[in-house]
Amino acid sequence: MLTDSDKKLVLQVWEKAIRHPDCGAEALERLFTTYPQTKTYFPHFDLHHGSDQVRNHGKKVLAALGNAVKSLGNLSQALSDLSDLHAYNLRVDPVNLQLLAQCFHVVLATHLGNDYTPEAHAAFDKFLSAVCTVLAEKYR
């Protein structure tokens, strides 16, 4: 559960993260490179570095996270449609969501540097864990 302090840190990190609009694409590229088995969910994508398809999907990832940040008090409702899509249509292994979250941490640390303090990292990790939990709810 996110505390008020966590929520404040998440908002601060997010405001800095969105200054880097390719963060989502970078996280996806890291995901595909580090965990090549995740590519199986994107057989129709050009997965090369700088691909328009990866860049566009990265923007969708950022938009979904932005929606979650705006709805910190009710993530289940904010992410319900996305949870349905991943569980029922795409059938994405929920572990992949956690792997993407790890990659997103690396991208944030790279771009935010000293602004991604241990406290900010911990708060954003709680947030991403909550997002992953909500997205995996429909699998149960």
pLDDT digits (tens, 9 = 90+) for 37-88: 999 989 999 999 999 999 999 999 999 999 999 999 999 999 888 888 877 7
| Structural domains of the chain ordered from first start | 4-139 (1.10.490.10)
Other CB atoms within 10 A of residue 68 CB: 22
What is the band of 140 on the pLDDT scale with cuts at 50, 70, 90?
A: low
Q: What is the mean pLDDT of residues 6-16?
A: 97
Residue 108 neighbours by CB under 8 Å, 6+ apart: 13, 17, 23, 116, 121, 124
The rounded distance, in Å, linking the Cα atoms of 38 and 110 is: 22
Residue 94 has pLDDT above 90, yes or no: no
DSSP string, 87-105: IIII---HHHHHHHHHHHH
Give the global pTM: 0.92
pLDDT at 24: 96
